[in-house]
């Protein structure tokens, strides 16, 4: 079991209400301290996380692992800066981290939203320390990575108009989307990137991989921006059955979804922000 778990949001879309020397961008990055293991989970949209890490007195060169939740630009933007700063950390992600991907914009134009050429090259030049996973992966007995998450619930989808090609053909199911869990004495802490698999699919899968463990904390982007009312209702119902002590919604969750969850869930919902720190399972 992990006894001392502390998570800090290095990058989120929302400003820090107290610290105006932290910068914000559309993206997500968490710094996770789990006893003596340090994990960087995603890297935001640019190398801005390096600045925020400095302000927050976090040393990226001390990370043991870089885990990339999926290959979107807003999670892989700081890869080069992090890999160059930390020459020893292991990188864990799915092979689809490298693929090209696009999203259809409201005006019907197509926007490239995959990893940048520079960050892709940085990964390629460090192949010796990359582990590509397509099944659950255990860092140790207490920290696991889902790998691809089965899409079981019909009401959940990737949450956007995502395609593999600029012509708008071949839907991108973002199968590389992964989450991690950390086992504390009280139960599991679950951390997601964009959660394109759906939070219910994600939690259900982790529940299968780690049965009989209560879920005590959930943090991440939940990509509920375009969620149907049916999806929101079912999501709230499932989350109510979990009753986490902590629930922090970041990044792409969406204000409408957060309002809905605040009004429907019977536990505390919090809006995450850049620089937010929380202790879990203590
Ligand atoms: Fe995202
Ligand atoms: Fe994403």
* % the chain with pLDDT above 70: 100
Question: Does residue 17 carry a pLDDT above 90?
Answer: no
241 pLDDT tier (thresholds 50, 70, 90): very high
61 contact partners, CB below 8 Å, separation of at least 6? 85, 86
37 pLDDT tier (thresholds 50, 70, 90): very high
CA 195 / ligand 2 centre spacing (Å): 7
Give pLDDT, residue 270: 97
Give pLDDT, residue 19: 82
What is the mean pLDDT of the segment spanning 163-172?
94
CA 212 / ligand 1 centre spacing (Å): 30
CA 253 / ligand 1 centre spacing (Å): 9
CA 141 / ligand 1 centre spacing (Å): 28
Question: Does residue 282 carry a pLDDT above 80?
Answer: no
Distance from CA of residue 127 to its chain's centroid?
22
What is the mean pLDDT of the segment spanning 181-186?
97
* % the chain with pLDDT above 90: 97
Question: Does residue 169 carry a pLDDT above 90?
Answer: no
| Rounded Cα gap, residues 25 and 32, in angstroms | 20
CA 60 / ligand 2 centre spacing (Å): 23
CA 245 / ligand 2 centre spacing (Å): 26
CA 197 / ligand 1 centre spacing (Å): 12
Distance from CA of residue 171 to its chain's centroid?
21
128 pLDDT tier (thresholds 50, 70, 90): very high
The CA–CA distances, whole Å, from 42 to 31, 124, 139, 238 equal 9, 17, 16, 26
CA 252 / ligand 2 centre spacing (Å): 8
What is the mean pLDDT of the segment spanning 40-46?
98
- Joined together, the tokens standing for residue 33 give 């301290």
Report which of 253, 241, 245 is spatially closest to residue 279, judged by C-alpha positions.
245
Question: Does residue 230 carry a pLDDT above 80?
Answer: yes
Give pLDDT, residue 30: 98
What is the mean pLDDT of the segment spanning 35-59?
98
């Amino acid at each position: 079991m992990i006894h001392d778990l502390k998570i800090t949001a290095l990058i989120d879309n929302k400003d820090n209400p107290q610290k105006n020397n932290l910068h914000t961008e559309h993206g997500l990055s968490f710094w996770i301290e789990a006893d003596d293991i340090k994990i960087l989970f995603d890297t935001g949209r640019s190398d801005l996380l390096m600045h925020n890490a400095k302000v927050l007195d976090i040393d990226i060169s001390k990370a043991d692992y870089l885990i990339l939740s999926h290959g979107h630009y807003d999670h892989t933007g700081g890869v080069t800066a992090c890999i160059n700063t930390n020459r020893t950390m292991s990188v864990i992600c799915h092979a689809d981290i490298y693929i090209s991907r696009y999203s259809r914009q409201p005006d019907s134009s197509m926007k490239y939203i995959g990893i940048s050429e520079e960050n892709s090259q940085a990964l390629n030049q460090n192949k010796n320390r990359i582990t590509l996973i397509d099944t659950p992966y255990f860092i140790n007995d207490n920290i696991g990575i889902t790998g691809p998450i089965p899409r079981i619930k019909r009401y959940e989808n990737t949450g956007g108009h995502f395609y593999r090609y600029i012509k708008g053909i071949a839907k991108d199911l973002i199968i590389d989307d992964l989450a991690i869990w950390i086992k504390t004495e009280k139960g599991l802490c679950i951390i997601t990137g964009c959660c394109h698999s759906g939070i219910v699919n994600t939690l259900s899968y982790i529940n299968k991989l780690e049965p009989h463990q209560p879920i005590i904390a959930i943090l991440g982007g939940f990509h509920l921006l375009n969620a149907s009312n049916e999806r929101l209702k079912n999501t709230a119902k499932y989350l109510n059955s979990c009753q986490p002590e902590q629930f922090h919604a970041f990044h792409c969750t969406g204000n409408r979804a957060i309002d809905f969850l605040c009004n429907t869930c019977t536990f505390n919902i919090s809006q995450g922000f850049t620089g937010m720190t929380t202790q879990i399972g203590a």
